[in-house]
Amino acid sequence: MAGHPTPEHIMQVGLGFWASKTLLSAIEMEVFTELARHPEDFASLRERLGLHERSARDFLDALVALGFLEREDGVYRNTQATDLFLDRRKPSYVGGILEMANHRLYPFWGGLTEGLRTGKLQNEARAGDLPFFEAIYADPARLKEFLAAMTGLSHGANRRIAECFPWEGRSSFVDVGTAQGDLAVQVALAHPHVRGTGFDLPEVGPVFEDYVDQNGLSGRLTFHPGDFFADELPRADVVMMGHILHDWNLDEKRRLIAAAHRALPPGGALVVYESIIDDDRRQNAFGLLMSLNMLIETPGGFDYTAADCMGWMRDAGFTETRAEHLVGPDSMVVGIR
């Protein structure tokens, strides 16, 4: 039977939600935040987490087998990665996005078949409840948590853009949909000659200003409140949009690219980045699945290839375009006016 196909990969992915939900429950129950205080043996960890004895050991050992915990002589501890990224008290915490995945996306993805058949989103907005972004923006504490989670998710790509984009000769930028402002902060930290603006809805202002202040950059980074469909973007040498374009339909994407074009001088650059799909649409599974997540979450959003994005940029009047891989599933597309 060697070399014959087996159903193992099918079963692994088909039942892959088991591993996924196990990690999400661990984050919800703050397993990693608890163990970041100190390693613990089974009995005390179980008690502190409030786990029923029936399945506590299977749960913790599954986290060991999945590579999220270590266990030695019966004592559980975080791995280097889970200690850094899943301890809620560290600024490097990325669990916010996964808390949201646990509470919202996991059940909403249960409607995927319906979404594929109808083309309609499957989240709160489907039942007429307050859509997610509005709910988040209405609650300052939740907004701050969400924006910080976005930072955790994009921090690696932000640092990479600060490193690899040619900032020489460019003295200003605007980061559109800036959230907490980590992209702005990373660029400003790496390039002392650059001043930047974070552009987002007014509610985001205090969160942006806090974060910028913590990083000692209040003199060089300012917040500009606005709605990028209603208001003109501030003028700058570089316009950046990270994890923004995919939320919107094709017409809205083109409007955002045109707004960037108007904000740039000749020679100015638009930098778009997110989990951009490979041009042949057969490698970046995460990008393609993210696009299905836009089906679940938005009325018309979708992810796209670098070739798609470069086409829209050229249609909007950009003269040169190029794409470059950043980290993990993320790439950037650059258009020069």
Q: Confirm or reject binding of residue 65 to its own copies (CB under 8 A).
A: yes
Q: Name the minimum Å distance from CB 38 to its own copies.
A: 19
Q: Which of residues 32-61 bind its own copies (CB under 8 A)?
A: 50-59, 61
Shortest Å distance, C-beta 176 to its own copies: 24
Site for its own copies in 82-101 (CB under 8 A): 82, 84-86, 94, 97-98, 101
CB of 140 to its own copies, least distance (A): 26
Which residues between 316 and 335 bind its own copies (CB under 8 A)? 327-328
Which residue among 224, 246, 261, 325 is the active-site one?
246
Please give the residues from 156 up to 185 whose contact with its own copies meets the rule CB under 8 A.
156, 159
Token representation of residue 137: 């923006």
Q: How far is the CB of 251 from its own copies (least distance, A)?
A: 14
Whichever of 58 and 320 has its CB closer to its own copies, that residue is: 58
**From CA 310, how far away is CA 320, in angstroms rounded?**
9
Bridge partners of residue 274, in order along the sequence: 331
Task: Return the range that interacts with its own copies (CB under 8 A); candidates 26-34, 183-191, 240-248, 255-263.
Answer: 26-34
Residues in Cβ contact with 335 at an 8 Å cutoff, skipping those fewer than 6 apart: 257, 269, 270, 272, 310, 313, 314, 316, 318, 320, 321
Number of residues binding to its own copies, judged by CB under 8 A = 88
Q: Which is nearer to its own copies, 68 or 137 (CB)?
A: 68
| Burial of 180 (C-beta count, 10 Å sphere; 0-12/13-18/19+) | buried
Q: Is 11 in the site for its own copies (CB under 8 A)?
A: yes
Q: In the window 106-135, what residues touch its own copies (CB under 8 A)?
A: 106-107, 109-110, 112-113, 115-119
Is 250 a binding residue for its own copies by CB under 8 A? The answer is no
Please state whether 94 falls in left (phi above 0), alpha (psi between -120 and 50) or beta. alpha
Q: Which is nearer to its own copies, 172 or 291 (CB)?
A: 291
Q: Does residue number 12 form part of the binding site for its own copies (CB under 8 A)?
A: yes
Q: Does 258 bind its own copies (CB under 8 A)?
A: no
Reference 208, options 225, 227, 231; nearest CA is: 225
Interacting residue with its own copies among 6, 89, 141, 169 (CB under 8 A): 6
25 binds its own copies (CB under 8 A): yes
H-type alpha helices, the chain: 8-14, 17-28, 31-37, 42-49, 56-65, 80-85, 95-100, 106-109, 112-118, 132-138, 140-164, 182-190, 205-214, 250-263, 285-297, 306-315
Based on the shown chain and the rule CB under 8 A, indicate whether residue 138 belongs to the binding site for its own copies: no
Per DSSP, 201 falls in state -
Task: Choose, by CB under 8 A, the member of 30, 48, 71, 252 that binds its own copies.
Answer: 71
User: Which span (8-16, 222-230, 231-239, 260-268) binds its own copies, by CB under 8 A?
Assistant: 8-16
Residue 282: CB atoms within 10 Å: 9
Q: In whole angstroms, what is the distance from residue 46 CA to residue 247 CA?
A: 40
* Segment (H or E) for 303: none
191 is a catalytic site residue? no
**Binding of its own copies by 279 (CB under 8 A):** no
The angle formed by the CA atoms of residues 105, 107 and 111, to the nearest 5 degrees, is 95
C-alpha distances in angstroms, 328 versus 52, 216, 260?
37, 29, 26
Please pick, from the candidates 43, 47, 67, 231, the single residue that binds its own copies as defined by CB under 8 A. Answer: 67
**Region near its own copies per CB under 8 A, out of 73-81, 130-138, 192-200, 310-318:** 73-81
Q: Return the bridge partners of 176, or none.
A: 199, 241
Task: Report the catalytic residues.
Answer: 246
